[in-house]
């Protein structure tokens, strides 16, 4: 019933309207966005619909109510848009497999897959590092990347995976693998676009501890892993028409960032944040601005994209948005090794889920 809410609306339409919807559905580009019910993901959806009214947009979210509210808000500004919902908890591998099956049944191709859902659970600001950073001569770098400032408390999911790794990376990896038949269509190219971060740091990632069980910066590690994985996807799938890119939305005020400090502190420092924006173009601050690079990529020929760079959403002091590339600190050897490890992990997870089903049936 959840995923069929578009259909319910259509039932009440005339036959003629229905036929035109079906005709459009056959021609419009298909875009799926994970974590589309708030923040950068929702702002991206707004921008995509403003650009292309024929789009078939699918919001993949874990929370039914929030997803329905997001769809409603999109339909208020774009009443004729084709917006459907799919339930997807990207941190649960069973949910990923179920959602992918539903997507394969619903669409015969996928043009854009935005892997945007992400978490940073129980973030803690290291105040000592913050004060040190302020007077280190690298304050602007610290403000634009949050490097070394944030630690998080991770947990373990029902699949036995680290939650941050499962949500920010592995669930999305499994989704891409499952949607391969829709993404890799002969004579047709598709884009996979990861919402990574400039917080991604090589030193927080280790091939010996992919899930970052040992460390306290799982967010940074998972984002660095997404940069590596995007490169590996390009190496494996470009010949089949699939192109992968990573972006950083800059510092955006969303549920994720509001979770970092108590709300009264945000209220107090907000004027300072707007001031800092004069010195660093990475303080995009609004979800609309943060979605700039995601939207920019939507307009690009995928063949023209560089797999070694990250696309950054930037906003000038005067409030103008633009996208700039920065070379990532990644290499093919580590990227290939990560990919092999993820394939191994995928096998294990699939087996575990299958064995679980058999146990359950007994
Ligand atoms: N805000 C910032 O400054 C920056 C953000 N980013 C990245 O941007 C992306 C979007 O975050 P942002 O808009 O800021 O924050 P929000 O918290 O507003 O958005 C995150 C979205 O991801 C969804 N999500 C989280 N976990 C899951 C899950 N298990 N399954 C499905 N959906 C899930 C959330 O759904 P729900 O509402 O149900 O929790 C929400 O819709 C993230 O990947 C984040 O890491 C990167 C750099 C900077
Ligand atoms: C008065 C307070 C002690 C001031 C603390 C400021 C910090 C909370 C921010 C300074 C730079 C910010 C930042 C992020 C979060 C909040 C800060 C650390 C991010 C890490 C959020 C998520 C991302 O992915 C990054 C790109 C952000 C970079 C900057």
pLDDT digits (tens, 9 = 90+) for 219-277: 999 999 999 999 999 999 999 999 999 999 999 999 999 999 999 999 999 999 988 88
Across 31-35, 147-151, 250-254, 344-348, least confident range = 147-151
The answer to whether the CB of 197 is under 6 A from ligand 1 is yes
Give me 210's structure tokens: 């992919």
pLDDT tier at 104 (50, 70, 90 boundaries)? very high
**162 DSSP 8-state letter:** B
Measured distance CA(230)–CA(234) in Å, rounded: 6
Spatial neighbors of 247 by CB under 8 A, at least 6 apart, are: 193, 194, 195, 196, 293, 294, 297, 310, 311, 312, 313
The interface predicted TM-score of the complex, written ipTM, equals 0.98
Longest CA–CA span in the chain (Å) reads: 68
Report pTM. Answer: 0.93
pLDDT tier at 137 (50, 70, 90 boundaries)? confident
The answer to whether the CB of 130 is under 6 A from ligand 2 is yes
Active-site residue, from 112, 114, 219, 237: 219
Measured distance CA(349)–CA(174) in Å, rounded: 10
3-state secondary structure of 109: coil
Measured distance CA(84)–CA(81) in Å, rounded: 9
Query: For the chain, what percent of residues have pLDDT higher than 70?
Result: 92
From the alpha carbon of 268, which atom of ligand 2 is closest?
1
- Residue bearing tokens 């910066």: 217
pLDDT at 15 over 90: no
Measured distance CA(159)–CA(156) in Å, rounded: 8
- 288 noted as active-site residue: no
The answer to whether the CB of 219 is under 6 A from ligand 2 is no
Say which residue, 218 or 138, is predicted with more confidence.
218
Spatial neighbors of 64 by CB under 8 A, at least 6 apart, are: 2, 87
Averaged pLDDT for residues 65-78: 98
133 membership: H or E segment, kind and range = helix 127-134
CB 202 within 8 A of CB 215: no
Spatial neighbors of 177 by CB under 8 A, at least 6 apart, are: 346
Q: Distance from the CA of 39 to the center of ligand 1, in angstroms?
A: 7
For ligand 1, atom 40: residue with the closest CA:
35
Measured distance CA(261)–CA(29) in Å, rounded: 39
Q: Distance from the CA of 155 to the center of ligand 2, in angstroms?
A: 22
pLDDT in tens, 155-195: 999 999 999 999 999 999 999 999 999 999 999 999 999 99
Q: What is the reported pLDDT for 167? A: 98
Q: Distance from the CA of 118 to the center of ligand 1, in angstroms?
A: 4
For ligand 2, atom 20: residue with the closest CA:
146
Measured distance CA(362)–CA(348) in Å, rounded: 21
pLDDT in tens, 18-35: 443 343 345 599 999 999
pLDDT tier at 11 (50, 70, 90 boundaries)? very low
Mean pLDDT of the chain: 92
Q: Distance from the CA of 17 to the center of ligand 1, in angstroms?
A: 35
Nearest to 201 by CA among 224, 225, 176, 172: 224
Q: What is the reported pLDDT for 27? A: 59
pLDDT in tens, 295-326: 999 999 999 999 999 999 999 989 999 999 99
Measured distance CA(31)–CA(52) in Å, rounded: 11
Q: What is the reported pLDDT for 278? A: 86
Spatial neighbors of 88 by CB under 8 A, at least 6 apart, are: 34, 60, 61, 62, 95, 96, 99, 175
pLDDT tier at 359 (50, 70, 90 boundaries)? confident
């Amino acid at each position: 019933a959840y995923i069929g809410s578009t259909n319910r609306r259509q039932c009440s339409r005339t036959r003629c309207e229905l036929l035109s919807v079906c005709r459009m559905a056959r021609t419009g580009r298909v875009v799926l966005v994970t974590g589309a019910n708030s923040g950068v993901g929702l702002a991206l959806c707004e921008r995509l619909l403003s650009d292309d009214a024929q789009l078939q947009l699918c919001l993949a979210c874990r929370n039914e109510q929030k997803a329905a509210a997001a769809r409603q808000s999109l339909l208020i500004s774009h009443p004729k848009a084709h917006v459907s919902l799919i339930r997807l908890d990207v941190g649960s591998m069973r949910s990923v497999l179920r959602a992918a099956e539903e997507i394969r049944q619903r669409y015969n191709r996928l043009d854009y897959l935005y892997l945007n859902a992400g978490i940073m659970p129980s973030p803690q600001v290291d105040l000592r590092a913050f004060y040190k950073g302020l007077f280190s001569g690298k304050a602007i770098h610290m403000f634009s990347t949050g490097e070394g400032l944030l630690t998080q408390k991770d947990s373990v999911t029902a699949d036995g995976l680290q939650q941050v790794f499962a949500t920010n990376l592995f669930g999305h990896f499994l989704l891409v693998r499952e949607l391969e038949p829709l993404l890799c269509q002969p004579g047709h190219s598709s884009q996979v676009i990861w919402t990574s971060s400039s917080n991604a740091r090589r030193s927080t990632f280790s091939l010996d501890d992919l899930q970052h069980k040992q460390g306290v910066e799982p967010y940074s590690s998972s984002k660095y892993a997404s940069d590596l994985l995007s490169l590996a996807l390009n190496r494996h799938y470009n010949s089949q028409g699939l192109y992968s890119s990573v972006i950083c939305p800059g510092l955006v005020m969303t549920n994720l960032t509001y979770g970092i400090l108590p709300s009264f502190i945000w209220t107090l420092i907000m004027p300072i944040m707007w001031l800092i924006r004069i010195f660093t173009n990475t303080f995009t601050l609004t979800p609309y601005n943060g979605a700039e690079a995601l939207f920019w990529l939507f307009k690009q020929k995928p063949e023209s994209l560089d797999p070694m760079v990250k696309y950054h959403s930037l906003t000038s002091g005067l409030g103008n948005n633009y996208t700039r590339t920065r070379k990532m600190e990644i290499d093919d050897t580590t990227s290939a090794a990560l990919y092999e490890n993820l394939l191994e992990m995928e096998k294990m997870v699939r087996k575990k889920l299958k064995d679980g089903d058999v146990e359950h049936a007994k």
